[in-house]
Structure 1
Amino acid sequence: MGLRIRGVVLPERAERSFRIDGDVLREDPAPGGELLVDGGWLLPGLVDVHTHPGTEGPESVFADATFRRHLTEHRDAGVLLVRTPGTAAPVPDWVERDDELPRVRSAGRWLATPGRFFPGVGRDIGEDELVAAAVEEAAADGWCKVIGDWRWDEPAVPLELLTATVRAVHAAGGRVAVHCQTAEGSRNAVLAGADSLEHGMHLDPGLLDRMAAQGTALVPTLGVFAAGAAERRAGAPGPRRDDWLAGWAALPGTVRAAHEAGVTVLAGTDSFPCGTVAAESSWLLRAGLPPEAALGAASWAARAWLGLPGLVDGAPADVVAYDRDPVAHPEVLGCPERIVLKGRVVR
């Protein structure tokens, strides 16, 4: 009969029994088979929708061994699906075939027009090349990532160009993530119809209703900003420092307002070590998201947004199990008792 799991499924809060059939789940209430999980709380595998495995900073070189190590760190924390919105090199072909590593959704290489992003780290292109390059990157795995702005006092990618890019990628069946940390960059990403705003610092709350209506998600990466706030405050006073601190001060409130407006808010870490999306979920909770929404942002809501179902018959066999309800006890989220990836028992 194989392995079976039984417990209370979130977010439905219904007790269910599944049989692991290869790399999929089969709803099977009949007795028989070894019970791998008998009771407790069951979640679809955790998700980090903004992580950059393979390098550890703009000066490091992408390496397969580093990529594998980072994905393993994710897996061992129960993060069984990642989206990497920008890499320094194409995601290796072997990743998809490796049943011991999380599922990966890639946005290809960062697309950086002149003066935006670290030189030589992404795919450096002219503004006249952006539309074609975005379509090309999205063709590989459905997503592309545009660096929509960079320095606080320099212009963002022009709205007309970003709009043309989004339209071309959508016409080709792809989706567009936009890095934005300035007011202009965030505004342009929303008005262009981007599928996700990565960071969204200085986002005008007046644009939230439009984001909700057109399905633009917000990935605020609160934890990485929080980690850098003390260093920024200790830095020399000046317009750049003050602008950054003002953006950070407003961001948690914007995140809360985004959720209340119906925007899909998701958990992404953009930091190292990998496997820390539970901490990002905690930051969303601190920003004012309801506990279930903060948890879903790192699990079922993120999986649905990336096109995968939750714990239902025929779903991928990616499961994390807990002895305590992680909605009521969010501190347990990063330490699942059981981890099943692609039908294989990790822990």
Structure 2
Amino acid sequence: MRATLLSLALLFPSVAVAAPAVDAARELHCGKLFDARSGRLLGPHTVQVRDGRIQGVSAGIPAIPAGTALDLRGHTCLPGWTDLHVHMGSQSSPQSYSEGFRLDPVDFAFRSVGYAEKTLLAGFTSVRDLGGEVAPHLRDAIAQGLVKGPRIFAAGKSIATTGGHADPTNGWNHMLSELAGAPGPTEGVVNSVDDARQAVRQRYKDGSDVIKITATGGVLSYARSGDAPQFTVDEVKAVVDTARDYGYRVAAHAHGTEGMKRAVMAGVTSIEHGTQMTDEVMRLMKQHGTWYVPTIYAGRFVADKARIDGYFPEVVRPKAARIGAQIQDTFARAYKAGVKIGFGTDMGVGPHGDNAREFVYMVEAGMPAAAALQSATIRAAEVLGVDDQGVIEAGKRADIVAVPGDPLADIGVVMDVAFVMKDGVVYKAPRAGDADAAGSP
């Protein structure tokens, strides 16, 4: 296989592809503007965009609009949203487990193209993809203008232990396991400190942007435990220290308490899901500055599907029913305790494009709408470690979305995104027939 790929690479050298064309200059006339730094909703504002960046932001709307103005006076403009936990190469269905044996990677890649566009049109101009070999390639295709989608920060293959949540051979029979051989650090499966270092270096070689570990069992993996710790503290620390050498941040999937404690003490950037988070874990997270990405949507989705005969394998079904139902309550406690929270859905578990429903669930659990919106804008940028997005300010990326009405008064309007701009390109606009709605410059 390697020889074949090398031959193809020599026969067909890579060709540079231009990124999407960007309008030289545009003006957005916003009826209201969400200030992500303060969490306040401001009155009418004009946002000037040039060459993919925000050139200026000023109060008021000119009486005589410029010829390049976009009329959003009936809408609230917000920074483009970021979903910190997605899986762009897949989407849950009763066939998900068998498809891994029947479909080729190219099949999942083609599916991801549609998922990416749905995500962007739902208002999410950036995502952090936490596990999937398709994501780095999809990221590059979007950056080159071949595919419409959000900016992707890709983990590539998640790092697991043998039999752990991201062991790709879980559920395989003896014959298949013998044919494939035992997966190792190259495949993201580790069993020692040295393996952990090698796995991170392999992700660097593969072009990942972030490192993902599965610190405990998981809900949807073909294994009994959904919460047992699966790394030693030393193994997690080896991942974190090696990741730091390469400028990476580390996200830790974790449902069980002990696995969370080990991950936090070892220095991970974020805990994902956090289902059985205790007061002790919350204190540790606050002490270490660890972020929490709750993924309420995924919890509710799997708990609902667990009621349907045949949707999940029987080994998965009790985990989905027990663990999924807890996440929203855990989120409510963590928010009240003052744990830092970033927005994430685990989309790919649920249907792509429905990401904004997480806002509704967050508010339902007691978080103010302003804080929920901040979690997907300025706070998400902090989790990613970037300073050029998440706010509508001069010099930042021109990532802007707009919704009708007032999202602080009615968070439900986030489900009706009318306008999407990413890097100065308009992909969706409220006026039917507008050329910009198709992403044309």
Using the size of structure 1 for normalisation, the TM-score is 0.88
Query: Which residue of 2 is the match for residue 85 of structure 1?
Result: 130
1:294 matched to 2:372? yes
Runs of 5+ consecutive residues of structure 1 not aligned to the other structure: none
More moved, 82-91 vs 195-204? 82-91
SS of 2:376 mapped into structure 1: coil
More moved, 8-17 vs 70-79? 8-17
Deviation for aligned residue 1:75 = 1.1
Deviation for aligned residue 1:316 = 1.0
Q: Deviations over 1:64-89 (max 9, x none)?
A: 32221111010111111111011134
Give the Cα–Cα distance (whole angstroms) in 2 for the partners of residues 230 and 164 of structure 1.
Answer: 37
CA contact (8 A) 1:212 1:261 kept: no
Query: Which residue of 2 is the match for residue 104 of structure 1?
Result: 152
- The residue type paired with residue 4 of structure 1 is E
Distance 1:22 1:257, change over 3 A: same
CA contact (8 A) 2:380 2:390 kept: no
Larger radius of gyration: 2
Q: Deviations over 1:188-242 (max 9, x none)?
A: 222222111111111122221321232211111111111222454689xx99977
Length, aligned pairs only: 345
Q: Deviations over 1:145-174 (max 9, x none)?
A: 111121247542112211222122123321
Give the Cα–Cα distance (whole angstroms) in 2 for the partners of residues 102 and 231 of structure 1.
Answer: 28
CA contact (8 A) 2:190 2:196 kept: yes
1:46 matched to 2:81? yes
CA contact (8 A) 1:95 1:101 kept: yes
Once the two structures are superposed, the pairs formed by residues 137-156 of structure 1 within 5 Å of their partners are 137=203, 140-150=207-217, 151-152=225-226, 154-156=228-230
Query: Which residue of 2 is the match for residue 331 of structure 1?
Result: 412
Distance 1:9 1:305, change over 3 A: farther
Once the two structures are superposed, the pairs formed by residues 47-66 of structure 1 within 5 Å of their partners are 47-56=82-91, 57=96, 59-60=99-100, 61-62=104-105, 63-66=108-111
Using the size of structure 2 for normalisation, the TM-score is 0.71
Match of 1:19 among 48, 58, 61: 48
Give the Cα–Cα distance (whole angstroms) in 1 for the partners of residues 279 and 326 of structure 2.
Answer: 10
Once the two structures are superposed, the pairs formed by residues 1-347 of structure 1 within 5 Å of their partners are 2-7=25-30, 8-11=32-35, 12-14=40-42, 15-27=44-56, 29=58, 32-39=66-73, 40-56=75-91, 57=96, 59-60=99-100, 61-62=104-105, 63-89=108-134, 91-92=136-137, 93-98=140-145, 100-117=148-165, 119-120=167-168, 123-128=187-192, 129-137=195-203, 140-150=207-217, 151-152=225-226, 154-232=228-306, 247-248=323-324, 250-270=326-346, 271-306=349-384, 307=386, 308-347=389-428
More moved, 12-21 vs 43-52? 12-21
CA contact (8 A) 1:88 1:110 kept: no
CA contact (8 A) 2:274 2:330 kept: no
Give the Cα–Cα distance (whole angstroms) in 2 for the partners of residues 242 and 66 of structure 1.
Answer: 29
More moved, 115-124 vs 85-94? 115-124
SS of 2:86 mapped into structure 1: coil
Q: Deviations over 1:95-148 (max 9, x none)?
A: 322273211111121112201125437934232311221244257343111111
Query: Which residue of 1 is the match for residue 13 of structure 2?
Result: none
- The residue type paired with residue 225 of structure 1 is G
CA contact (8 A) 2:215 2:259 kept: yes
CA contact (8 A) 2:118 2:352 kept: yes
Distance 1:184 1:320, change over 3 A: same
- The residue type paired with residue 280 of structure 1 is E
Tell me how large the CA RMSD over aligned residues is: 2.8
Deviation for aligned residue 1:248 = 4.6
Q: Deviations over 1:298-344 (max 9, x none)?
A: 33422343213410001111111123111211111021221112211
Percent pairwise identity? 25
CA contact (8 A) 1:37 1:321 kept: no
Runs of 5+ consecutive residues of structure 2 not aligned to the other structure: 1-23, 170-182, 218-224, 429-441
CA contact (8 A) 2:89 2:111 kept: yes
More moved, 258-267 vs 40-49? 258-267
Give the Cα–Cα distance (whole angstroms) in 2 for the partners of residues 240 and 87 of structure 1.
Answer: 20
- The residue type paired with residue 331 of structure 2 is V
CA contact (8 A) 1:43 1:319 kept: yes
